[in-house]
Every structure is written in structure tokens, then in C-alpha cells.
Amino acid sequence: MTSAPLTSAPAIIGSLLDLTAWTAFDVDPDGRILAGNDESGSMQLVEIAPDGTRTQLTALPSRCSGRYIPGTRRVVVQHDNGGDEQIQLSLLDLAPASGTASLPATLADLTPLVHDPAHKHDLADVSAESVVFLTNRRNGVDFDVVVHDLATGTETTLYDGGGYLVNAVASHDRRTVAITVLSSRPRSTQILIAGKDVARTEDTGSRTRAVTAPDEHAHHTQASWTAADDALVMASDHEREYAAVVRVSAAGSADVSADDSADGTVWETLVAADDHDLEVVLSPDGSAMVVGHHQDGVTTLAVHEQDGAHRRDVALPDAGMPTVIWAPDSSRFAVHLTTSGDPGSIHLVDAATGTVTTLVDGRAQIPEGLPISLPTVHRVPTPDGEQVPCFVYRPASDTDTAAGSASATGVGSAVSGASVLVVHGGPEGEATRLFSPVIQALAGAGLTVLVPNVRGSAGYGKRWVSLDDVDKRLDSVADLAALRAWLPELGLDPERSALWGGSYGGYMVLAGTTMQPDLWAAGVDIVGMSSLVTFLENTSEYRRAAREREYGSLEHDRDFLVTASPITYLDQLRAPLFVIHGANDPRVPLSEAEQIAAALADRGIRHELRVYHDEGHGLAKRANRKDAYPAAIEFLTEILGR
């Protein structure tokens, strides 16, 4: 990329949107990393050799991901059609003798493994012999766990008990799976074990056993099998405020000093903290684990022994949001790291010594003179005594931490003192301190950007994430008003503040501008819900029950859903809106954007609706991002610069 001086906001925004995003999916026994980058325009598979050589593996029409098949030179590729999230599974052969003749591979070069375009097939686990996937093909709603034998093509269903499944991990002998399923309570999951070795239940005859209670208000995640397949290691806030690393054993399978439940399940705490959540990734052989300490939007890593004893900290170049993938032999692990100032780097860590080898340095691609803003961390008071965590990104020219200065060019002078609140999706999501081209572009245009974790956000304990459940929904909207009232503390003009958000964040944009019409000068709504009623009625059938547990049900809570819907308050709306939506969105249907745009048109309110027919829930393709985001930022700066 050019290192010529950047002299205008459009040049800054364009350079930021041109930066390549990296991620990591898998590591093979020889140290190759199956990665992804979007240099071609959407996320495609790239293989990184131990010497750093990079080979692009795919050139598919939509973004994809994948996993190695251990002991082979084959890859299971996950891909959909234009963002419709109907995931299909295919094989890519990289063996010299029989592999794909030319790379990068197109769809025609892949061998179908599990294909049914009308349904989802989410890859859950891969071994040398079989692939485990989650699919809703039985009835379009409930997910089953299916094992596909790679040699014969035969399939065995290990679980068909219904529900929205998050993940499934096969035991080492491949006879059972540990399943994470959304439970009936918000921000709660249940762990089940299913398979050939599980006794049939008396009432249904299924081979399924519950490890955790179905109605417990607890979030269990990252479950993996111990080496002997006799217990699970996972992160859980079972009877805790913050998630700890725990070992959970079935009745009679362990004899430890721990908390025993009424059904005989034994809970052993391996690693815990009193004031923040922990994450865990267990090594394939169960001998070690990487524990993440998550605080205020960043996670630091340490290697622990299987019993929880600390082995060593992992010294990454900077604090950010790491993703850990173990090598099959448990000797090392890859870390994909993105930070506020790093679009995405990939490191390889020796599990025994802690030595970090950088294979991709995402910071190296940032052009000289491109202003990068690094956030400060704040707590914003609310009228009812809460404190909203918030990251603040000043225009880079206003900070001492910028990679370059925009002040000499006058970039952003017209919007000095103006601000944008960027609200995350979820709603049980979290704003973290990772690299965001949109946030950096807004700051590069001269705006101060506030990125809050309003009540209902994850990452700050069980109490905080539960403060927006069902009939508390509008309490999170009220946090927007508290954030605006706090703007003078930063020397900002409350009259020139706008909202930006995607998915649930888009709902918050619409809720803020309709329910608080005097507070916001403009908004950018990306795949947001304008009516919680029509959203729930029209979302994909397999998602409806999962979303009703958070927002309220159409049957029992319809009146409140109407009350909490932005479209109910359209007569109050006067702020201009920029609306972005993907035509293939399976989560928030396009109709949500179309009905808000039609209502704005009827009332003569300035707006723009951009629909992308090759996108789903958000913009995955760079060409579409470069079309939508600069226009949206120009829309805001024009309004806020008045």
C-alpha cells in the first residue's frame, strides 16, 4: 500500500477499508496454519507455511472458513450463498498427487461433502475418520448432531432431541458428543451428552444425558473432553457472578473435593477470578489449557496444566482479543490477535516455552501517516446509579497515541466537538478493544467515537448481562441518554451527536432516534430491527425461539414487544437516517429496513436506504463496505458539521 501522505477524510477512510483482515482457523501437525484473509474482497482460505510462505486456497463467491482433516492434506470448507448462512460443507484436496489442479479453488473445484441448500450444516468437529456437524434439515427448526464417516459417506445421528445447538465436541473415541444448547432462560446454555455409550432415558428412549440443569441461569461454553473422556473442562458461571474454568464429572466418575449437585454431578473449579470472566481452550490431549482473562474488552492469555496449575503467561505484542487454536499434537497453538491498533496478526506459540513466533503482522500493512486512534476506558454514570463501561476514541489528531496526525491537513475540523455512539449487536454481545475500520474511519473524519457496553452486554458479569432481559429492554435504551448527557465531560457538544449500530445495535439506533427524538442529530442503522414483532414473525424459523427468550415471546409478550419497537414511535422521529441492509439476511429480514424507509419517506424525513443483493446479516464484501461506509460517514459529517 502507498505511504504517500493522506490529506483528506475520504483518503483516510478509503485506506482503512482497504486494510486486509486476517483470522486463523486451524493448525496441522507440520505447523501449517489454515487462515483466512479478505484481500481478494471477501474472507477466503489461505495456508501459511512454517517459513511464512502464503498460498491462497479458495476463490469462492462468498466468504468461507475451514478445518484441516488430521493426518491428511484435505480441508473441510464451510461456505454459503451470498450471506444466506445456509452453510454447506465441501472438501478441498491439497495432496500433490490427487489435489486440486490449480489454486485458488473455485466452487467447481470442491468436492461436495454435505450439501442441501435449503438447510444449515455447521461444522462442529473433525477427526481423521469423521466430521461432526449440526443441521436443521430434519424439520427446518431443530438442530441434530450428525457424524459423517469420511471413508464410506454414511451418517449417524447422535442427537435429535431438538433445540438451538451452539456446538458439539466429540469424545476421543468418537462414541459420544458433548453438546451446548441454548436453554429457555436468557444468556443461559445447557450441556448435554449424547451418543452410543449413553443409557436410554425412560421417558423418551433417547441416548442423552443432561450434565447441567435445563432451567439454570448460567452460561456454559468452550466444553472439551478430558484425556480419559471421563469429564468435561469448560468455562462456566455456574453459581458464580463471573465465568471460571471448571471440570465437570458425571456421577461416580470422579472423587474430588468439590461442589456436588443433587444428581451426583461433580463440579471442580480449576481456575477462577473474583472480578472478571475466564475463558479456556483445552489442548487436544487434555494435558494443558490456555486460559484467557477477560477484562474491559481485552483478554490476556496464560498456559495452565490440566489440573489448573499455572505454567506460564503468554507474552503477545499487545493486549487485544485473541483466538486460540491448538495444534493436533498439543505442542503449540496459533493465536489470531486483533487489537485497537492491529487489524489482525497471527502468532504461533510454543506451549512448553512460551516462545511467540509472528507469522502475520497486521500492523505492517498500515500506511505511514494513516491516523489510528487508541481508546481510553471510562465508566459513565446513569440516573439510576449504574455505571456504563465505555471506550472513547478521540480523533487521532487529538491524541498522543496516533500513528499519524490529521491536524495539519484540517481533516475533521468541520465536525470538531461532534460525536458518534457506536452500539454493538447481540444484544448479549460485547464491544471489545479490537480493530474496527468503521470506528477508525469515523475518528479519521474528525469525530469522537464512543463505544459503550450498555446494560445487557456480556463481559461484565452475570448481573450486568441480565439487566435488559425481556421487559427490561428499554433500560438499555435509557443508557443511550445517559451517555449523551455525559458528553460535556469530554468537551463535546451534545447537540451534535449521532448513533451508529448493526443488528441489535441497529435496533438501538432506531430506538434512540424514535424514543429520544430530541437527543440525536442522525443515525446509521445497519441490519437493525424496526419492529420486534415483525422481526420475530419473519426471522428464520430456527432462530425464533432463541430470540424470543431474550426479547419476549409473540404469544405472551406481544404488547410489550410493541411498546419496545421503534416503529411504534415514528411520529416522534425527525433525525435523518442512513439504512444499510443485505437482501439475503436470514436473521433480520430486509422487510425491517424497507418498512422503516417507507415510513420515513411518507413523513418526508431525510433518509437513504442501500440494499446489497449479495449480502446477508451485515456486509462481508469489501466492495460493498467501500460503497456503503464512506457514504454513511459523509452523511453523518455533513449533518454534524452544521
610-637 pLDDT tens trace: 999 999 999 999 999 999 999 999 999 9
CA 211, CA 229: separation in Å to the nearest integer? Answer: 14
Q: Region 437-446: what's the mean pLDDT?
A: 94
354 is written with which cell numbers?
512460551
Q: How confident is the model at residue 204 (pLDDT cuts 50, 70, 90)?
A: low
Q: How confident is the model at residue 256 (pLDDT cuts 50, 70, 90)?
A: very low
Q: Is the peptide bond before 517 cis (omega within 30 degrees of 0)?
A: no
* Residue 609 falls inside a structural domain: yes
CA 149, CA 146: separation in Å to the nearest integer? Answer: 10
Give rounded-to-5 percent helix, strand, coil for the chain: 20, 35, 45
Q: Which pLDDT score is estimated for 305?
A: 96
Instruction: Count other Cβ atoms within 10 Å, centred on residue 466.
Output: 17
* Residue 602 falls inside a structural domain: yes
Contact indicator for 543, 519 with CB cutoff of 8 Å: no
Q: Which pLDDT score is estimated for 260?
A: 46
Q: How confident is the model at residue 302 (pLDDT cuts 50, 70, 90)?
A: very high
Which residues face 6 on adjacent strands?
none
Of the candidates 497, 581, 575, 567, the residue with the CA atom closest to the CA atom of residue 534: 567
Instruction: Tell how strand 577-582 and strand 607-612 pair up.
Output: parallel
Can you state the angle between helices 9-18 and 437-444, rounded to 10 degrees? 170
Instruction: Calculate the CA 97 to chain-centre distance.
Output: 38
**512-563 per-position pLDDT tens digit:** 999 999 999 999 999 999 999 999 999 988 888 889 888 989 999 999 999 9
* Residue 285 falls inside a structural domain: no
**CA dist list (Å): 478 to 288, 393, 548:** 44, 22, 21
Q: How many domains does the chain contain in total?
A: 1
Q: Which pLDDT score is estimated for 403?
A: 37
Of the candidates 636, 641, 642, 186, the residue with the CA atom closest to the CA atom of residue 422: 636
Of the candidates 400, 345, 344, 406, the residue with the CA atom closest to the CA atom of residue 371: 406
Higher pLDDT, 502 or 51: 502
User: Which H/E stretch holds residue 313?
Assistant: strand 310-313
Instruction: Say whether pLDDT at 133 is over 70.
Output: yes
- What are the two backbone dihedrals, phi and then psi, of residue 636, each rounded to the nearest 5 degrees? -70, -45
Contact indicator for 14, 630 with CB cutoff of 8 Å: yes
CA 77, CA 496: separation in Å to the nearest integer? Answer: 46
Instruction: Count other Cβ atoms within 10 Å, centred on residue 471.
Output: 12
Q: Which pLDDT score is estimated for 184?
A: 83
Q: Which pLDDT score is estimated for 591?
A: 94
Three-state SS for 93? strand
Which residues face 79 on adjacent strands?
64, 88
Q: Which pLDDT score is estimated for 25?
A: 97
What is the residue type of 225? W
* Residue 633 falls inside a structural domain: yes
Q: How confident is the model at residue 253 (pLDDT cuts 50, 70, 90)?
A: very low
| Percent of the chain's residues with pLDDT above 70 | 92
Q: Which pLDDT score is estimated for 613?
A: 95
Q: Which pLDDT score is estimated for 203?
A: 56
Q: Which pLDDT score is estimated for 263?
A: 59
**CA dist list (Å): 408 to 253, 398, 411, 414, 545:** 68, 12, 8, 14, 54
Q: Which pLDDT score is estimated for 264?
A: 66
Contact indicator for 596, 566 with CB cutoff of 8 Å: yes
Q: Which pLDDT score is estimated for 397?
A: 65
Q: State the chain's mean pLDDT as an integer.
A: 90
Q: Which pLDDT score is estimated for 7?
A: 53
Q: Structural domain of residue 634, as residue ranges?
A: 376-640
* Residue 321 falls inside a structural domain: no
Q: How confident is the model at residue 642 (pLDDT cuts 50, 70, 90)?
A: confident
Q: Region 268-280: what's the mean pLDDT?
A: 96
* Residue 33 falls inside a structural domain: no
Of the candidates 254, 369, 374, 264, the residue with the CA atom closest to the CA atom of residue 307: 254
Instruction: Tell how strand 88-93 and strand 22-27 pair up.
Output: unpaired
Give the DSSP letter string of 183-244. -SSTT-EEEEEEETTSPPPTTT---EEESS-TT----EEEEEE-TTSSEEEEEE-TTSSS-E
* Residue 467 falls inside a structural domain: yes
**159-179 per-position pLDDT tens digit:** 999 899 999 999 988 888 999
Q: How confident is the model at residue 103 (pLDDT cuts 50, 70, 90)?
A: very high
Q: How confident is the model at residue 413 (pLDDT cuts 50, 70, 90)?
A: low
Q: Region 592-613: what's the mean pLDDT?
A: 94
Q: Region 188-207: what's the mean pLDDT?
A: 74
Q: How confident is the model at residue 200 (pLDDT cuts 50, 70, 90)?
A: low
Instruction: Say whether pLDDT at 240 is over 70.
Output: yes
Total count of residues recorded for the chain: 642
Q: Which pLDDT score is estimated for 409?
A: 40
What CATH number does the domain containing 634 carry?
3.40.50.1820
Instruction: Say whether pLDDT at 588 is over 80.
Output: yes
**344-400 per-position pLDDT tens digit:** 999 999 999 999 999 999 999 999 888 899 999 999 999 999 999 999 999 976 654
Contact indicator for 62, 40 with CB cutoff of 8 Å: no
Q: Which pLDDT score is estimated for 428?
A: 87
Contact indicator for 43, 62 with CB cutoff of 8 Å: no
Q: Region 102-118: what's the mean pLDDT?
A: 94
Instruction: Calculate the CA 16 to chain-centre distance.
Output: 21
Instruction: Count other Cβ atoms within 10 Å, centred on residue 506.
Output: 31
Three-state SS for 494? helix
Contact indicator for 386, 378 with CB cutoff of 8 Å: no
Instruction: Tell how strand 376-381 and strand 356-360 pair up.
Output: unpaired
Q: How confident is the model at residue 407 (pLDDT cuts 50, 70, 90)?
A: very low
Q: Which pLDDT score is estimated for 250?
A: 63
* Residue 565 falls inside a structural domain: yes
